[in-house]
Amino acid sequence: MGATLWILLLFFGLALVLVELFMFPGTSVVGIAGFVAMVYGTIRIFTDFGTTAGWIALAFVLTVCTGLIVWFVRTKYWKKITLDEQLEAKVNVIDEQKIKVGDEGNAASRLAPTGHASFAGEMVEVQSMDGFIDQKTPIKVVKIENNKVFVVAL
């Protein structure tokens, strides 16, 4: 019974490492638990069955783990689990020819205190200086600073 228990512990540790690789990538409790199970199982085989059995168990664990790492890298599985997208978002760039201090428009969304507003068909992100402003409320530009448009309700 003793040998079967420790060998099952080794396989359980390997299974946890596989779960870590394929289901929960990254350093997490599952991977650490798998590593601890493999180390503990190998140490118990060394102490209970001698050095020959211990070296065989250690060689098995190292061979399987090395094989998994090589396979994992060669199959390019990393590309499936890594974020590889480029952000295409832009910062709110204010064209000072179209929007000037004193322009009037309407709140396109609720300004709480930031939201969107329309000035002569131009949609811009704005910030309220009055606090909350409801949607479709007439507003006026009072300040433009560092590509931020500050407005007040009319």
The residue ranges of every structural domain in the chain are: 2-81, 104-153
* Residue pLDDT, tens place only, 47-74: 888 899 889 988 988 898 888 778 877 8
> Is a pLDDT exceeding 60 seen at residue 82?
yes
Distance CA 153, CA 33 (A): 59
Q: What is the mean pLDDT of residues 75-100?
A: 71
Q: What is the mean pLDDT of residues 77-96?
A: 69
Given a contact cutoff of 8 angstroms between Cβ atoms, the answer to whether 37 and 9 are in contact is: yes
Distance CA 58, CA 46 (A): 9
Reported CATH class of domain 104-153:
mainly beta
Q: For the chain, what's the residue count? A: 154
